[in-house]
Amino acid sequence: MRLAEALGNPSLDLLTKLDSETGFGLGGNKVRKLEFELSPERLEGVTSLITAGGPQSNHCRVTAAAAARLGLGCCIIVNGPEPETPRGNALLHRLFGAKIVTVPEREDRSTQLHNTAADIQMEGGHPLVIPIGASTGLGSLGYAAASVELFDQLHQRKPLPKRTVVFVPSASCGTLAGILLGISLLELNDVLLVGVSADMGGIEMKQHSIKIARAGSELLMWDGPLLTDNVSTIDNQVGDGYGLPTRSSDEALRMFALYEGLVLDPTYTAKAAAELISWIRSGLVSNGDRVVFLHTGGHPGLLK
């Protein structure tokens, strides 16, 4: 990558896994999770999908797109006032035909989620509630499977590195949990996962990721050890809060665009990219490492 050269280490093996290009509903990591959450047996008899997120939620975007493709109703619970002119994901939610229900605060979303499901049932419908971010044991299986894909691709590149360091944008933790489960299933002790938080404290993020990964392992009826020591969770890129850019995330967004032609988003991927840049500059990764940036998508949020 030209980015490595711009950061003063042209020989660093720096790669991007483009999950921003998963090809459905403008892509992103939520597509992989919803492949499991919306399996045919779970959709039997379902008339509508219900989920929740922020006004620019990538998860809500892909859920609404899936509902449109499947011919189902869709209701999205979002916090904050109705925008006067929807843009970015907020516009896409509406283009995909989702009904939007607004609540004042993020903490109100879960209650409204279940109230809306009850209302649909009272009207004779059969809703399927998808938890925020599809960050469940079931959803995490999407990234357990993605781990097999990723490391198969990496192992085809020679020479093999001493260590692979994967930077993962994280919020509701389902993606990080799935990759943790994946590397544990594959027994990849030479992999370090760096989860970079968009809002949650690092300790809480690690605990939550492990909990989801364990739920996924139970669904697989696998009782092997999770490689929890191979996960580092970072919260020093959060800045003033969720969705609020920082000086370092703005720099990362510009550098990925300028040197790689890659579009990041200010909420998740730019902050994870800022941490990756910090590690390269400070020498926390070396030329013996292979460094992978997991691009989880979200670029419509740049256009809000």
Are the beta carbons of 250 and 270 closer than 8 angstroms? Answer: yes
pLDDT, tens digit (0-9, with 9 covering 90-100), for 48-97: 999 999 999 999 999 999 999 999 999 999 998 889 999 999 999 999 99
Start and end residues for every CATH 3.40.50.1100 domain found in the chain:
2-27+136-303, 39-129
The CATH number assigned to the domain with range 2-27+136-303 reads: 3.40.50.1100
pLDDT, tens digit (0-9, with 9 covering 90-100), for 123-171: 999 999 999 999 999 999 999 999 999 999 999 998 889 999 999 999 9
Domain range 39-129, its CATH number among 3.40.50.1100, 3.40.190.10, 3.30.470.20, 3.30.110.30: 3.40.50.1100
Look at residues 15, 13, 5 and name the one whose alpha carbon lies nearest to residue 285: 13
CA atoms of 275 and 249, how far apart (whole Å)? 9
One-letter identity of residue 163:
R
166: tokens are 């994967």
Look at residues 125, 60, 51 and name the one whose alpha carbon lies nearest to residue 90: 60
pLDDT, tens digit (0-9, with 9 covering 90-100), for 189-198: 999 999 999 9
Residue 159 has a pLDDT of: 86
